[in-house]
Amino acid sequence: MEEKKSFNILFGDYIIENSYPAAVRLNEIFDKSFVDSFMDHEQMKELHKWRAEFLVFLGEAVKKNDMESVWDNITQWATVSGTVAVDFQLSLDEALKTLTSWRTVLWDMAIEIIKEYNIKGEDVIVVNRIIDPLIDHAGYIFSISFVENHRKTLELAQKAIQEYSVPVVSLTDEIAILPLIGDLDTHRAKILKENTLNSCADLENQFLIIDLSGVPMMDTMVANELFQVTNSLKLIGVETILTGLRPEIAQAIVHLGINFDGILVEKSLKNALRSLTNVQNV
């Protein structure tokens, strides 16, 4: 006589065999509004496969009555899911709401097996002790991955914005300009130094006009960074011309005792271009 299969094996096999249609149901019924907000038709097919894979992992764990057998697979799956969610610009709270949908789909599947085979309540509890921790673990890893990748994305965006805030623009083959607008804090001044050196090295310009007319004030640290920029540029063969120094900034520089001897200072951009034109014509 054929040995009666346990609920673990019956339900595990059922999850694995029906993983794809269950994933379709998950996406097109339970999470439809959420999924439709960021997926097109072709992407939906890939999402079906991706979510079916998670269901297969759960089915294998249930069948073997062993969470550890799929723990690493689920960790990797959730890590990738968190990264992709950031790429799709999803919100973490909306994504985590789908954990309820996973449980609903799974227990709808379980009910079919329970009715057909008259499963005991204690057997269902045993399976629940496998499924729930794995779904919770997936949610935990997803959250960690999401937050970490979101942080990296914000840092890259911030860096890009800061780099755009110190643009070196080529005027001629020999002359470039760096117009600065807004407050110069220490962090932005350091980015200014790095970006300016790299840009001038790429442009191979001989002169760089740093226009400070849009800078309302600078402190000791920022003035020192600016001084270091001019000295560093000199080492790679670029002469610096400062323009647009406000009277209050000029007074602050003198008061701070920072020595800008040897650095050409002009009242305006127009004067700087005229001076450089005269130098080049000599």
Q: Which domain holds residue 129?
A: 7-159
For the segment 250-266, the average pLDDT, to the nearest whole number, is 74
The answer to whether residues 152 and 174 belong to one domain is no
Same domain (yes/no): 40, 108:
yes
Cβ proximity of 166 and 191 under 8 Å: yes
Contact 163, 103 (CB under 8 A): no
Is residue 241, in this structure, part of any structural domain at all? Answer: yes
Q: 2 pLDDT band (50/70/90 cuts)?
A: very low
Within a domain: residue 246?
yes
185 and 148 belong to one structural domain: no
CATH number at residue 154: 1.10.490.10
Same domain, 12 and 69: yes
Residue 263 pLDDT exceeds 90 = no
Burial 45-68 (b: 16+ CB within 10 A, else e): eebbeebbebbbbbbbbbbebebe
Give the position of tokens 């309540």: 121
Does 53 share its domain with 190?
A: no
Taking each continuous run of H as one helix and of E as one strand, the counts in the chain are 12, 5
pLDDT of residue 188: 76
pLDDT band at 26 (very low <50, low <70, confident <90, very high): very high
> 49 and 142: one domain?
yes
Q: Is residue 164 part of a domain?
A: no
Q: Using one digit for the tens of pLDDT, what is the confidence trace for 141-157?
A: 999 999 999 998 887 76
Q: Predicted confidence band at 12 (pLDDT cuts at 50, 70, 90)?
A: very high
Q: Are residues 34 and 135 in the same domain?
A: yes
Average pLDDT for the chain: 87
Domain identity same for 14 and 121: yes
> What confidence score (pLDDT) does residue 63 get?
95
89: part of which helix (H) or strand (E)?
none
211 forms beta bridges with 179, 243
Residues 126 and 192 in one domain: no
Question: Among the residues of 118-236, which ranges form H helices?
Answer: 121-164, 186-203, 220-235
Domain count, the chain: 2
CATH of the domain at 219: 3.30.750.24
Q: Which helix (H) or strand (E) holds 44?
A: helix 41-64
In a domain, 200, yes or no: yes
Same domain flag for 198 and 144: no
For 14-23, 139-148, 193-202, which range has the lowest pLDDT when averaged over its residues? 193-202
Task: Give every CB contact of residue 118 below 8 A, 6+ residues apart in sequence.
Answer: none
| Token representation of residue 145 | 């991955």
Q: Are residues 143 and 217 in the same domain?
A: no
| Inside any domain, residue 137 | yes
pTM of the predicted model as reported, rounded to 2 decimal places: 0.65
- pLDDT of 39 over the 90 cut: no
Cα(131)–Cα(109) distance, rounded to whole angstroms? Answer: 13
How does DSSP assign 65-81, residue by residue? Answer: T-SHHHHHHHHHHHHHH
pLDDT tens digit string along 216-254?
777 777 777 888 888 889 899 999 998 988 887 777 777
pLDDT of residue 83: 94
- Exposed, middle or buried: residue 202 (CB in 10 Å: 0-12, 13-18, 19+)? exposed
Residue 122 shares a structural domain with residue 213? no
Q: How far apart are CA 189 and CA 149, in angstroms?
A: 27
Residues 67-96 pLDDT 10s: 999 999 999 999 999 999 999 999 999 999
